[in-house]
Chain A
Amino acid sequence: MSALFQAAAGSFLAPAFFGFLGLIPVVILLYLLKLRRTQVVISSTLLWRKSLQDLTANAPFQRLRRNLLLLLQIIVLLLVVAALARPFIRADATGGDDICLLFDRSASMQTLENGRARLDLAKGKALEIVDDMAGSDKMMIVTFERGSDVLCELTDDRRRLRAAIRSITASDTPTRVRDSVLVASSLQASTPDLRIVILSDGKIADLEDIGARAFDVSFLQVGATSNNAGIVAFSVRDPLEGVGQRQCLVLVSNDRPEPLETTLTLYLEDETIAVEEVAVPAKDVAEVVFALPDLDTGVLRAELDHDDALAVDNTAWLVLRPASAVKVLLVAKGDSTAAYFLKRVLALNPRVEAGVMEPENYTGRGDYDLVIFDGFAPDTLPDGASVFFNALPPVEGLGEDGVIENPPVIATDPDHPVMRFLNPQNVDIAKARRLVLPDGARPLVSTQGAPLLADVSRGGRQVLVVAFDLADTNWPLRLSFPLFMQNLVAWVPTASLAEQTYVATGEPITIVPTPDATAGTVTLPGGATEAIALDPTRPTYFGNTARAGLYTVQHGEQVERHAANLLDFHESAVTPAAALEIGRSEVAAERDRIRQNRELWRWLVLAALAVLAAEWWVYSRRAWL
């Protein structure tokens, strides 16, 4: 049915309303039934009967005339139903509507077109749209890259709109438009005349998960060039089992229609350590692997020596941190079975610096990163990360309600970092406490109706609780036990930080402050500085990472560097998209003026009213001859 309609010049936004055509037989029925006649006694019906017979003898035209009212009513119904189905045709926009402008300022918009950035071209188009606005039209401007920003609320103040447009700057971040489109679309429901215009080059990655709906948007496309090559992946691989060298992997993409031959240079700090020739076929990627010298710290920089339209993806940074030791404190009775196994497994991990303490000597975590409690819980939770075996941490809402005998392991939550690669189903447990978890706690391993291992982190502190005594199980003898401990160590913020070599632009940098730091400064790429407040008990996240490059964080005595990279395949493929697939609609790109869906329902309603008036006229003419 919908295919049939789309074949016609227009199409329908709400074809479900055609179900109302089922009302037509009802109308006919009502018409037949409604003809009630007034009864009049007259002297003789002789002549009337004869006249009637004569009339019906001239049948067809008379019958048609009699049915004129019925016909008109059916026409009115058809028009109303068609109007409800909201037919529309694509027509040139001539103003008269409110516009929600979704402005793309992601990395790909920095692509140079004949010396001008796409962003500037887009700004020009946006200004044109402002100029095209009719008197009372309103516009709102929402910019999007990884996140979205409402730059300007719905307003008809053209000066404000123009100033807002001119103030838009590009960001080095990739494009995520889903949330903006969904919000704008819901606005459209409450503001019927709102037209959504996406002003972009169409390099948008997340449109597929927008849901299967029809969206009424226009796509105004900017840009044309495909002259870009860029680094889309950059990582460092540790040697396996200590054998061999550390390796550096760079992935280069070529969006041009012809193959590329260029040079890739690798720098450590400012010294060149490797140069490779790269040949990338057209519209393809190529991998380059560098062997790295044995180094622990430093900033690696990869640079593509190619003068192309988009510069931001030609450089990438990695910050190498020493694999710092993770200080783990074990608070347990030195002679317990559990303590024995825990000490043994901690000794296995080369990164761990383990300390052991009797429970009665415990005074606080000191400078340990992770505290493991066995059979003992202090009155206050330590900061940072802690794990409680066979003890209840002082977490509000956490309690126990009896004992479970022989609980089998039934369910696990494999998405939690400490549960990676774990398969604890083969662990036998003799008895466990029946835990009552507080709101927000996350059970990681459960038996029937009760958790065995749960994440009860709160307030910036990471806390795990294990409901049983290791001595009551055979877990230490299983493979999942040392894996669990390894995950635990990696879970600690300082440890995870050491593994992170860069963040994607727009994602926040994690800062783990030194115990005495309460404030710090961040130097952005380009030289600007920002002051930040720190809380020594928990990590702080710095979010202003829209620029790609190196960020220097200074807190207390410590100076650390962080890298932010674009590294996005979609953004580096700068060829503008010809159409956007949004939900169920495919929106073709328009280059000059926006074409809008001109809805026809108003005309149909007017026509229905006219026919209704005609029907009333015919009816009264019949009555009064």
Chain B
Amino acid sequence: MAASTTSGLLEPDFLRKLERLALISKRARLGMAKGERKSKRKGSSVEFADYRDYVQGDDLRHVDWNIAGRLDALYLKLFEEQEDLTLHLLIDASASMGFGTPPKLEFASRMAAALGYIALVGYDRLSAEAFCGDRVFRLPACRGKGNAGKLFAFLEGLDAGGPTRLEESCRSYLVRNRAKGVAVLLSDFLDPAGFEDCLRRLCMSGSDLYVIHVLSRDEVDPQISGDLRLVDSETQAFTEISMSRALLRRYQQNLDGFRSTLRRECLARDIGYVPAVSDMPFERIALDVLRQQGMVK
């Protein structure tokens, strides 16, 4: 189906490309075909829930041949029991995300838009939440391509502000949204409290976990110089520095350490780690890296 909604976040061409992708749950990769997932319920009858377009690669056993004969098209039957995928999008919209050229939040929103669109098109459930410190913006769970407009509107309306409290925000979300599936956290992870607690919290969710670590070019490669008083956008704390080669080198070291530690922690917990810089060509990441990560296919 052609995209009925256009979005400032994503190009129509790109949306079309996205329609060809589908989210992957790692559990499915373990050899379980759709519809053949183990269900916790025992001895229940399989109840028919909905139809879905047949796409190449789907299991032919689930094709509804009656409809196929009548409508001359292939549709898949979806069953209730089938554990359908819920895509959880957790977007960090704290004040630090508002920095960068383009802002990190914009990049995160675009990523969220792409992933969300894939889920919606694939008739997976989508639930999204953005945290701005104490405030939380929610996109209620929805399904189907018709809700793409709602998703884009939600994402476009996000403004950065407030402190970063990753662990708290993740916990509060996951308490309210227990459906298992794929959870993606988009953040710069510049949390004074660190990220380990947050990661641990995520692991408790039971979902497939991905982390998209967005940083800005200014953070990766700072161009500041001289004697400065740096103000933290979230805590308003001052740090006075006198720029020097040594300081810059130190900063780079710490930055690399920060990223590599996060990656290591993610790997250790079987969390997919996608590093990104907000000025990278968005479409390339969206298509290539996500595939590499095994997030989409």
B253 surroundings in chain A (CB, below 8 A): 51
Chain A 57-97, CB within 8 Å of chain B: the 1/0 string?
00000100110000000000000000000000000000000
Least CB separation from A54: chain B residue: B250
The interface size of chain B toward A, counting residues with CB under 8 Å, comes to: 42
Contact B224 A47 (CB under 8 A): no
Interface size grouping (class) on chain A: 20 to 34
Task: Give the docked Cα–Cα distance between A624 and B230 (Å).
Answer: 18
Q: Min CB distance, A44 to chain B, in Å?
A: 4
A40 surroundings in chain B (CB, below 8 A): 224, 228-231
Residue B127 is within 8 A (CB to CB) of chain A in the complex? no
Q: Min CB distance, B106 to chain A, in Å?
A: 14
Residue A114 is within 8 A (CB to CB) of chain B in the complex? no
Residue B258 is within 8 A (CB to CB) of chain A in the complex? yes
Chain A residues 490 to 544 lying within 8 A of chain B, measured CB to CB, are: none
B230 surroundings in chain A (CB, below 8 A): 40-42, 45, 48
Task: Give the docked Cα–Cα distance between A16 and B231 (Å).
Answer: 50
Residue A38 is within 8 A (CB to CB) of chain B in the complex? yes
Q: Min CB distance, A135 to chain B, in Å?
A: 51
Task: Give the docked Cα–Cα distance between A42 and B241 (Å).
Answer: 13
Q: Min CB distance, A50 to chain B, in Å?
A: 5
Least CB separation from B224: chain A residue: A40
Q: Min CB distance, B169 to chain A, in Å?
A: 16
Chain B 236-257, CB within 8 Å of chain A: the 1/0 string?
0101111111111011011100
Residue A213 is within 8 A (CB to CB) of chain B in the complex? no
Residue A35 is within 8 A (CB to CB) of chain B in the complex? yes
Q: Min CB distance, A67 to chain B, in Å?
A: 11
Task: Give the docked Cα–Cα distance between A36 and B233 (Å).
Answer: 21
Instruction: Give the most central of A41, A42, A49, A623: most B CB within 10 Å.
Output: A42
Residue A43 is within 8 A (CB to CB) of chain B in the complex? yes
Chain B residues 100 to 114 lying within 8 A of chain A, measured CB to CB, are: 100, 104
A35 surroundings in chain B (CB, below 8 A): 227, 242
Contact A37 B228 (CB under 8 A): yes
Q: Min CB distance, B195 to chain A, in Å?
A: 11
B43 surroundings in chain A (CB, below 8 A): none
Contact of A42 among B218, B245, B255 (CB under 8 A): B218
Least CB separation from A39: chain B residue: B229
Q: Min CB distance, B296 to chain A, in Å?
A: 29
Contact of A625 among B98, B228, B233, B244 (CB under 8 A): B244
A43 surroundings in chain B (CB, below 8 A): 95-100, 104, 188, 190, 216, 218-219, 233
Contact of B228 among A38, A65, A624 (CB under 8 A): A38
Q: Min CB distance, A624 to chain B, in Å?
A: 6
Residue A622 is within 8 A (CB to CB) of chain B in the complex? yes
Contact A47 B96 (CB under 8 A): no
Given A48-B230, A55-B250, the answer on whether A624 and B225 have CB atoms closer than 8 Å is: yes
Task: Give the docked Cα–Cα distance between A55 and B241 (Å).
Answer: 11
Task: Give the docked Cα–Cα distance between A45 and B222 (Å).
Answer: 12
A622 surroundings in chain B (CB, below 8 A): 242-244
Task: Give the docked Cα–Cα distance between A50 and B230 (Å).
Answer: 13
A66 surroundings in chain B (CB, below 8 A): 242
Residue B11 is within 8 A (CB to CB) of chain A in the complex? no
Residue A30 is within 8 A (CB to CB) of chain B in the complex? no
Residue A240 is within 8 A (CB to CB) of chain B in the complex? no
Contact A42 B99 (CB under 8 A): yes
Residue A295 is within 8 A (CB to CB) of chain B in the complex? no
Residue A46 is within 8 A (CB to CB) of chain B in the complex? yes
The 6 closest A-B pairs by CB, nearest first: A43-B99, A44-B190, A51-B250, A43-B96, A37-B229, A45-B232
Chosen A-B contacts, 6 in total, with CB atoms closer than 8 Å, are A37-B229, A38-B228, A39-B229, A43-B216, A49-B239, A51-B247
Known: A46-B190, A66-B242. 9 other contacts (CB 8 A): A35-B227, A37-B227, A39-B228, A43-B218, A43-B219, A43-B233, A47-B219, A51-B247, A52-B250
